[in-house]
Amino acid sequence: MKLVKPTNKLYVYLTAFFLVQIMLIAFYPANRTEVDDGFWYAAGIRDEPYLKLFNPRFFLFLPLFKALYELVSLTGLRIDAYHFMCAVSMIFAGLTLVLLYDILRQYMHFKTKTAFFIVALLAISYQFWRYSVEAEVYVLSMFLIVLILKLCLKLKESASWHHVLLLCILGAFTTLLYKPNFIPLYAVFPAIFLYYKRYKAFIVYYALSAVFIVGSFFIVYLQLPEEGTFLTYLFGGTNHPVGNPAVSVLVITSNILSLMWIFGFEEATTFIIDKFPHKVIQEELFLAQQIGREKYLLLGVLCLLALLFIILVVNAIRRRDVFKMGRFRILAIMALWVLVYGGFLLLMDPTSNEPWLMLQIPILVFFGAILIEPLSKSLQWIAPTFLVLVFINNTVGGMNLLRQLDYDYYYKKSEWLINNATGDDYIISYGPMSFIRYLRYYTDAEILNMEEGQGRALTVLKTPEKVSGEIYLSENIFHPPPAIMYRSQVNVVSLFKLYEEKGYRTELISGEGDRFATYKLIMK
């Protein structure tokens, strides 16, 4: 159906939006094994005052969500903070897909089938799908970036300064929402201003945006009690490089295809431990236990996808003469987006899925333009077949694995503590940090992280008389996970000495063997 009339377009877009919501609800995860920061964010908007939520890396993200959460609470609706944030992500996931399709048809002039393929592949790509039901900043950021891209492309037909002012406000807001958004918004998209010869608008865009961004940081900085220079605060929130840049191709692939089921193969697990020694993977190994013979089906699906990809590449080379150069200008913007943002990630965070998710859109647009658009009539079957295979992989080997709470590693590990720990108790754990945040969200106890705060944990162990409640250990603290030992300077010897000096012993109060063991510290 050709979308011509606005009323028809609106009807189709609304239908598509609600279909996306139905899909997200149908596969809404009960298992939150893969959550990294979501419970930290949710605890923040639920428990912390506004001033503590202005993190330099995602400056407005948590204050904005806290305001929305409190606004919803005023209606009398009681909703869990974490799931509230997930619901917002779901809404913006649908909006992102609809808006992207509109850009692909209206401004990039893709065929309807190709535009649908790109949007559908984005919708069912594993990490976009998973983060569409997650308490995170990424999907909201993707929506705003796509919206700003559309407004930049409209500069060709709009000479209004109100349009430029709107771009300045949205650009500054999106950067304040998540600082790395600065890269596409101010290192890539301004090339569109220059192409349309909007030189004055180009200068105003940078100048006003800088005033909005720096001014917002400065206003909050003046309210902070902590010491430190303003520039340190303004440029704070960066990551320290961890991981091998050569593995980034595997990371990008795993953003599109769920590879969790691969943990069902011992050989693959060995490879992952070798290539990602800093990653804690006990959660994935436990999750993979529910995979039976399906892993062989999924291996076959992966092989078929690889074969189809090779066919697409060969076909694109043979039919390179039909590639439409009319879209080269916008594809150049996409290429610059991938190169600049990708180069930044290769230096700063090459092996984490989350930041690479922000490149999912330009990567898939390239995929559609170069490999799908040139398909002849005899090969049109490849596009829907490819989508079906990706959907099978990402449901059977991805989202479906997250539907059962019984395979949630964090839940199984903390179930007793959630039900029994009180606000007077201490829980000492090696983490990882995502597990620490999970405990802090679901329990009232004071959580001490042995990996990042061993000194404080040792202080508590040295002076247990100051603790009015119990001291619990979420695992055997004398045997840290290998990844913790690899990336940290945990001193197990000092723990042994402290136990001997104090005459401590531990009592197993919950767990199956050592995997989900919870101990209580017994003192003289």
In this predicted model, what pLDDT tens digit does every residue of 293-319 receive, in sequence order?
Answer: 899 999 999 999 999 999 999 999 998
pLDDT of 254 over the 70 cut: yes
The continuous run of DSSP H or E covering 43 comes out as helix 38-47
Residue 152: both structure tokens together = 């930049």
Residue 20: both structure tokens together = 């996306």
CA atoms within 13 A on the CB side of 489: 1
In this predicted model, what pLDDT tens digit does every residue of 189-228 receive, in sequence order?
Answer: 999 999 999 999 999 999 999 999 999 999 999 999 877 8
- Give the sign of the dihedral formed by CA 280, CA 286, CA 291, CA 293: positive
Specify the pLDDT at position 421: 93
Predicted structure pTM score: 0.92
Same domain, 194 and 343: no
Among 380, 404, 428, residue at a domain's last position? 404
CA distance 75 to 207: 40
Same domain, 85 and 226: yes
Residue 315: Cβ within 10 Å count: 17
pLDDT of 93 over the 90 cut: yes
In order, the DSSP letters of 432-483 are -HHHHHHHHHH--SEEEETTT-HHHHHHHHH-GGG-SS-EEESS-TTS--HH
Residue with tokens 């010491």: 227
Same domain, 393 and 412: no
Helix ranges (H only) for 358-453 are 360-367, 382-396, 409-420, 433-442
Same domain, 82 and 194: yes
In this predicted model, what pLDDT tens digit does every residue of 49-58 receive, in sequence order?
Answer: 999 999 999 9
- Report the mean per-residue pLDDT for the chain: 89
Q: Is 429 helix (H, G, I), strand (E, B) or coil?
A: strand
The continuous run of DSSP H or E covering 474 comes out as none
The answer to whether the CB of 521 falls within 8 A of the CB of 473 is yes
Per the structure, the complete domain to which residue 490 belongs is given by 408-522
Please report, for residues 90, 258, 291, 297, 409, the alpha-carbon distance to residue 396 in angstroms, rounded to integers and kept in the order given.
21, 9, 9, 9, 19
Specify the pLDDT at position 459: 84
Alpha-carbon Rg of the chain, whole angstroms? 25
CA-wise closest residue to 177 among 206, 207, 148? 148
Residue 205: both structure tokens together = 């865009």
CA distance 65 to 67: 5
240 inside domain: no
Same domain, 182 and 291: no
Same domain, 37 and 178: yes
pLDDT of 2 over the 60 cut: no
Same domain, 421 and 503: yes
70 inside domain: yes
Taking phi over 0 as left and psi of -120 to 50 as alpha, with beta for the rest, 511 belongs to: left
Same domain, 161 and 19: yes
103 inside domain: yes
In this predicted model, what pLDDT tens digit does every residue of 240-249 receive, in sequence order?
Answer: 666 678 778 8
In this predicted model, what pLDDT tens digit does every residue of 370-402 receive, in sequence order?
Answer: 999 989 899 999 999 999 999 999 999 999 999
| pLDDT band (50, 70, 90) for residue 104 | very high
1 inside domain: no
CA distance 358 to 451: 29
Specify the pLDDT at position 123: 98
Same domain, 450 and 366: no
Same domain, 148 and 12: yes
Specify the pLDDT at position 1: 44
Same domain, 60 and 172: yes
